[in-house]
Structures are given as structure tokens and as C-alpha cells.
Structure 1
Amino acid sequence: MGSVAKTVFVEMTPFRVEPRFVGRVWGWKDLRPWYDRAAKEEPIGEVWLTGDDCAAATGPRAGKALGEIFKEMPQAMLGEGASSCDSPLLIKVIFAREKLSVQVHPDDRLAQKYGQPRGKTECWYALAAEAGAQVAAGLKAGVTMDEVRAGIEGGTLEKSLRMLSVRAGDMIYVDAGTVHAIWPGSVLLETQQNCDLTYRMYDYGRGRELHIEKSLEATQLKTKAGKVAPRVMEDRTILVDSPYFTVERIPVEVSRSSTSLHREDELKDGLAYLFAAEGSGRLSSPSFGEVDIPPRGIVAIPAASPIFAIQDMGDLDLIRITPRWPRPAA
């Protein structure tokens, strides 16, 4: 996998990405009012906002798949410091009407052992949560691998899970190797490494494939998973800052310049995504005109983007998501 050259030669304008609605047995039949979409057959469980098959909705590359854009324009999209030439993050909104499977994701080393480019560390930001909503993030203290295997075989694995209550605005970090599950009652913005590799351990008898041996190989009894306290700063709130991504809430009082979106400690020419958790926004610039961000919409900001202003078009709750570039494992 080649590295990205350090010089960005081509200016590239921001563009909105068309969401992709993905069927899941545990999903919702109707996503309204979140999205104007109802399921025709299989329930919709995930809305992929930056999947490789999601298409650009605006700009000169409208209609082209996001994965193709990264491969064709890696310098303009990723800028300096990128460790690959493909899309680094997969961002989704999760809608669960039933319990998801109890599962685990491999880390980079294990994923590469089985021929995949990267593992899957992720985080969940609660856009909404009903009273009593919960997720599982890790195993209870003292649980052994023998107990995990016995729980899978006996259908009692839930007893070993560390359950967390969820309220709107909570951020939960789930590093690779964490046994986890999402239960009904919340709508979650999931940011993850661009990998959809999941090892199911237990699936409540739904008949889908299980990956017991690989899941046990991937499982780490102790991880860093759990709730992350927000870091409130003068111009933003950092929700999570991990080796693979940073997620922030950015206040927009009427309007602010794109140059103010960067933190002092980050690269100034890297990729970013802007997601409207509530309300709507608008990007405007003499270089490209206007790009609207509708509610629950997302805009890709290439590394080579010209300067722009972002405006609050009504009750905008702006989430900024940026990839980070970890050093390869030794």
C-alpha cells in the first residue's frame, strides 16, 4: 500500500455525500423523522455516510463513488501524513429496534493476518436515547476466556458483558478487541476505521453466521472501551480523541471561517467531515459557491479545499470528524 505524497497540487472543493441505507434484521422499518426513508423489505439498520460506495452528491464529481474519488485524488483528499491512498473512516448512523449480535472486531495486526488492510476501532456518539437505553462495551472485571467460550456455547454470554447506560450526548469509545453489543433505545453516530469486519459471537438464534474461533482470537479481556468525558475548549468540545480519529462539536454562531475549524495541534491540510446532528448549515466560498448540509447530512472537506465560511441556517449542531494516522505496528 503506497504512501501519499507530501505536496497537495490540486485544489478540491468540499462536496456533500449521498447516504447509503443498509438493511439489517435488527433495524427500523421507518427512519422518519431522521431520514425520509422507509424500508420496502428488510428493516434499515445503518445509514452509511462515508462508505466507499456512497456517491458524491454535489460538485464536479457528483455521482462518483467516494472510494473512487480517494483512489483518483489521494493527495487532494488526504494531504500530508496519510498512511494510505484510500478512505480512512467509515461513518454511520445506527438504528436498532432489536439487540445487535454480541461481537468483536479485530485490531490492525489480526485483520492483516487474515488479508485485510486494517482492523476496526470505533466510537458511538448518542444522537438520541430513550430512558433505560443501554449498550455493552467490554467484559466484566475478572471474566476469563474460558467463561467467554462457555457463555457463547450456553447462550449466557450477556451475563459477562459490562453494560453502560446511554443518554443523548454520551460518547462511548470501543477499541478493537472489545466484546460489545448495541441494544435498542438509542440512535448512534458511529465513527470507525474504514473496515466492516465483524466477528459474531452470539446472535440470539437469528441464524446468521457466527465466527466463534476468530472472535475468541480477537477478544481482549481488558480494553480502553467506555464512556469518554467531553473536553470543553474555548472554540469547540472534543468528544473523543483516539489514535484513529477525532470527533468534535463545533459551535457556529451565525458564521465562522474554515480556518477556525482546525485545532492548533493538528495538520492544517488534512481531510475532515462535517455532519449536521441537528439543524442545517451552508458552506459558501467565491471558489465554489454554496454547499448545503441538511439535517443528518455530511460534507467531505478535502485536504486541498479552498477557504470557505460555514453558516448556521437554523439550529445547527455541527460535528466535525477527522482521521488520524497511527504509526504501523512493529
Structure 2
Amino acid sequence: MTIGTKVAPFSLKPWFSERVWGKSDLKPWYEETGTTELVGEAWLTGPQCLVESGPYTGQTLASVAEKMGGEFPLLVKILFPADKLSVQVHPDDAQATAMGETRGKTECWYVLEAEPGATVALGLKPGVGAKEVAASVESGTMELLLEHVPVSVGDMLFVDAGTVHAIGPGVVLLETQQTSDVTYRLYDYGRPRELHLEKGLQVIRPKTQAGKVASRKMDGFTRLIEQKYFVVDRFDVASADEVTVAFDGAGCLVGLAGRGVVITGEGQLEIAPGKAVVVPVGNASVIVETGSGVSFTRCVAPV
């Protein structure tokens, strides 16, 4: 849903989510996190992220969206696993609504860093269904039922609702997803956290569309993924150059490397690694200029 028609683009301060599988040091992405606890996720467009520019400075993204009569449709994060995440699954919209939730959770992962041999678990092996999953939780063998996919920097992976999945150490991922945190934890390697096996087994799909997505060269950018809930593109702008970035729906720019300036009708905003600039209306465009080169993604919720 588009937030409104009178809100200029603005920058957001990341919100750091503490996780048992996270890291204490997120450099070079972030110099500090404001906590001594392990951080697993930097939420770039989370409802609680604070606006850093413009008339709404200091307010949360959720409060700005509410004022404009809507909700920002994409939750964009950077994940920093130092240990295995739980094996989990998310419902689709219909399943989530039936369970009393607002919406489901379909997502994608863009690989920013990957150690040699890094993998993610994406889907179940052929012939495996809810019955086998339940038995494997009891026996502690669930990892053996998962498809483990090798990943490298620049890979894009689609994770549709109903896909059993897990992420391990050795990667840093940019995650773009529906604005939802509905997660059913199926297996957690013996850690003392709550499981949601009953709900999770109800939404598992043995076969999904999850997997690597081939990128496509477009006019001035690279299309990484195009799906119902999001379109993610990468722009690589050379030094002393500029590019016009159009938005066909509400979305954001996320800095990956280098620095640049986002020029809007109301002024200039910095684009830097690990920071988001929100463009809250569709049918809009901004200009990105750089002195020494900049790379960023455009994440859009199609109208």
C-alpha cells in the first residue's frame, strides 16, 4: 500500500535486533549497534526505525505511515548470522489470515558476503512432507531433510511462503520481504526457545518455487528479482556520474558500497552502505549522484 502522495523521500536509522545466533561486531557495515548483546538483524525499514531527515525526523516509520493512511509494504533487513538460525517456515496470506495474523511472509535473500563453501537450506528433499518433518524434530535429524544450496556473493534466492528454510554462518544477506514477522520455528538445534510445530506443519508445502533467481540486465540497472510482493534491482553508478531512479510503487534505496547523494524535490539525502532511503509514493523518481562511485539496490512493492 502506498503511504501517501505528499511525503517526500526520507532516510531511516537502522534498528538492530538482538538474536542468539547473531554477532557482536557488524563491521564494516556498522561501526556500532548501541548494544553489547549479539545482533542478528539490522532492520532498515522496520516499523520502529526512526526517520532521520525531513519534517518527520525522530518519528517511527510506522507512525509516519499511519499519518498518511497506510503502511510501508516492505520490510528490508541485513542478516548477520554467526550461528545457525532455526529451521522455520512462514504462512502465505490466506493461511496467516486464517490464523489471526495480518498477512503472510514471502521473502528473498541477496547474498552480500559469503565464505567459501557457504550454503543455505531451502526447501525439503523430494518425498519429504509434514509427517517426516515432525518425526525428524523428535529425532534431532531435521537438517538431513533439507536441500542445502551453495551460495556466492551476488546470488539472489526466492523464498516463497510455505518453504522450510534455514540460514547458517558464513553469509551476510539482504532480505526483502512482506512487512510481517510471522515465523513458525520448527527446529532449533536444542536451544531453549519456543517451537511452533503445530502451526508450522500446517503451512509447510513440500514443493515450492524457492531457489536461485537469474539476474537480468536492464536499461541502466540489473533486475535481481521480480515477484508479486517485491521487485529488487541493483544499480552500480560510476564515479562522477548520476542516474535517475524511478519508483512504480512505494519502496526504498539501500546502499551497498560507496557513497552518493539522493536528490529529491525537497533536498538531498546521503546514501551509504547499510542505510535506507524511503520513497513512500509510487509514480516518483529520484536522482542519485556520486563522486567516487556507489552501488545500491532499489526495493519496490509493485502497485
Residue 78 of structure 2 is aligned to residue 93 of structure 1? yes
CA gap of 1:284–1:208, structure 2 versus 1, over 3 A, is same
Q: 1:60 to 1:163 in 2, by over 3 A?
A: same
The 5 Å alignment of 1:253-264 reads 253=238, 254-258=241-245, 261-262=246-247
Map 1:129-140 to 2 at 5 A: 129-140=114-125
* Amino acid across the alignment from 1:256: V
Q: What is the Cα deviation at residue 318 of structure 1?
A: 1.4
Question: Residues 282 and 313 of structure 1 are in contact (CA less than 8 Å); yes or no, is this contact kept in structure 2?
Answer: no
Q: Determine if the alignment matches structure 1 residue 242 to structure 2 residue 227.
A: yes
Q: Show CA shifts across 1:55-102 (max 9, x none).
A: 11111111111011111114xxxxxxxxxx212111100000000000
- State how 1:1-330 maps to structure 2 within 5 Å: 10=6, 12-37=7-32, 40-74=35-69, 85-253=70-238, 254-258=241-245, 261-262=246-247, 267=248, 270-285=249-264, 287-303=265-281, 308-325=286-303
Query: How far did residue 14 of structure 1 move?
Result: 1.1
CA distance in 2, matches of 1:117, 1:25: 27
Contact 2:2 2:281 in 1 (8 A): no
Residue 143 of structure 1 and its aligned partner are, at CA, apart by 1.3
- TM-score w.r.t. the length of structure 2 is 0.94
Cα separation, 2, equivalents of 1:66 and 1:4: 13
Which amino acid in structure 2 is aligned with residue 281 of structure 1?
Answer: G
- Aligned residue pairs, count: 301
- Distance, in Å, in 2 between the alignment partners of 1:177 and 1:27 is 25
Letter paired with 1:24? R
Where 1:314 maps in the other structure, the secondary structure is coil
Question: In 2, are the aligned partners of 1:13 and 1:305 still within 8 Å (CA)?
Answer: no
What secondary structure is seen at the aligned counterpart in 1 of 2:66?
Answer: helix
Q: Is this contact kept in 2: 1:13–1:306, CA < 8 A?
A: no
Q: Aligned partners of 1:182, 1:32: CA distance in 2, in Å?
A: 20
Name the SS of the counterpart of 1:131 in structure 2. Answer: coil
Letter in structure 2 aligned against 1:97: A
Deviating 4+ runs (over 6 angstroms): none
TM-score (norm 1): 0.87
Q: Deviations over 1:2-31 (max 9, x none)?
A: x879xx653x22111110011000000111
Contact 1:279 1:313 in 2 (8 A): no
More deviation in 313-322 or 101-110?
Answer: 313-322
- Identical positions, percent: 45
Contact 2:44 2:274 in 1 (8 A): no
Distance 1:121 1:4, change over 3 A: closer
